[in-house]
Amino acid sequence: MLHSALLTKILQIWMTLVKIGTMIKLFKVKEKQRELAENSNGRPPVKKQSAGELRLHKDISELNLPKTCSISFPNGKDDLMNFEVTIRPDEGYYLGGTFVFSFQISPIYPHEAPKVKCKTMVYHPNIDLEGNVCLNILREEWKPVLSINTIVYGLCHLFTEPNHEDPLNSDAAAVLRENPKTFESNVRRAMSGGYVGQNYFPRCI
């Protein structure tokens, strides 16, 4: 009797599992059919946006760039998390130059600062030859209340007020500190396409 009851219980459990498996399969089939129907209507499947993407949408919609700056999306508007900002200073040592920065945004933005690199090789105390940028708000001073607009203005400030006290390019910083006229000459030579010391800088003016 006990053996029969056990078999009955096992059979019931098995039938329940079969039903659950069937329901899961039906759900997957219906989900696939829904996606196909949306595609046939010319509507791509809806992609759930991360918190970082939602915040970035807000930042970009509220951008108030100076006239010396522009933003572009090399991968198209479907990839907002990777974009470029071009800066063309209209004053200071770097007047007339064109400098392109890449922005890579984390899915957890704004709780993590964007990764920003200078794609244009530049003779600058706060930007090294690999394009790394020394800007405090991209490092220890980053806060979630800051925005893309804040970063762009910070980058612009680097070109109008290069800082020799917190350098990534120590050679350029030393020249700026000790002989601003020589520094200005080096900047113009680099921007025009030429050597400064052992390093060749492609033309960006």
Mean pLDDT, rounded, for 119-136: 98
* Residues in a beta bridge with 103: 83, 116
Percent of the chain with pLDDT over 90: 73
Give the model's pLDDT for residue 93. 98
- Weakest-pLDDT range from 2-16, 116-130, 154-168: 2-16
pLDDT at 12 over 80: no
Query: pTM for the whole thing?
Result: 0.77
Fold of 51-201: Ubiquitin Conjugating Enzyme (3.10.110)
Q: How sure is the predictor about 50, in pLDDT bands with cuts at 50, 70 and 90?
A: confident
pLDDT, one tens digit per residue, over 22-39 is 655 655 666 677 766 666
The residues spanned by each domain of the chain are 1-46, 51-201
Higher pLDDT, 154 or 166: 154
Q: Which residues of 80-105 are buried (b: 16+ CB within 10 A; e: fewer)?
A: bbebebebbbeeebbeebebbbbbeb
- CA angle (153, 54, 49) in 5-degree steps: 140
Assess whether 204 carries a catalytic annotation.
Answer: no
pLDDT at 55 over 80: yes
Percent of the chain with pLDDT over 70: 78
Active-site residue identified among 69, 118, 134, 156: 134
Give the model's pLDDT for residue 95. 98
